[in-house]
Structure 1
Amino acid sequence: MNMIRIKAVIKLYSDSRKTPFLSGYRPLFDFIEETKTSGQITLIDRKAFYPGDEGIVEIAFLHRKALGDNFFEGTKFTFGEGRKPLGEGKVIEILEI
């Protein structure tokens, strides 16, 4: 099984968390309505990602199926730790599939 790696621009909502996250953060991603999948974020140009920040990150996923049939550059998604999204993003480059 190959890992799926993407580059994405993400925005962490300013009212979502009290603390920043670091590389290795593993929120749940929502590409398909009512289907969440775990992914690991690697920060590229910073040490921490603060509430209200927007930037480019790498994200790795284990399961292709949970990313949906319309998974391509430009695909939008949300991410969070429970039912409420903490942020949103858009795929800008598929690095490995």
Structure 2
Amino acid sequence: MTVADESGAAMETAGRACELLARHGTPHARAIGLGDREAGTPAETILGPAKSLNVEVIVMGAYGHHGIREIFGSTTREVLNASPTVLFLHH
């Protein structure tokens, strides 16, 4: 899932991510692209589709400038606490 200013751009990015995953043995990835206006809070945007699509794993990118504190920011904590499935964080 990708969120961008425009849903078309978000869908294009999500599609490229799915192509990459398919090349690495994950053929069942599903592209979801949302525009800013369609998305709720970051955690809601991640968890809503994860629950409704009954996903097997959530993969989240994390980045920041202050080490481990940034990885476990408010969105990450919220997703960790409410995730219906396995959560893989990549920093």
Structure with greater helix percent: 2
TM-score band, normalised by shorter chain:
under 0.3
TM-score, with normalisation over the residues of structure 2?
Answer: 0.28
Q: Which has the larger radius of gyration?
A: 2
Structure with greater strand percent: 1
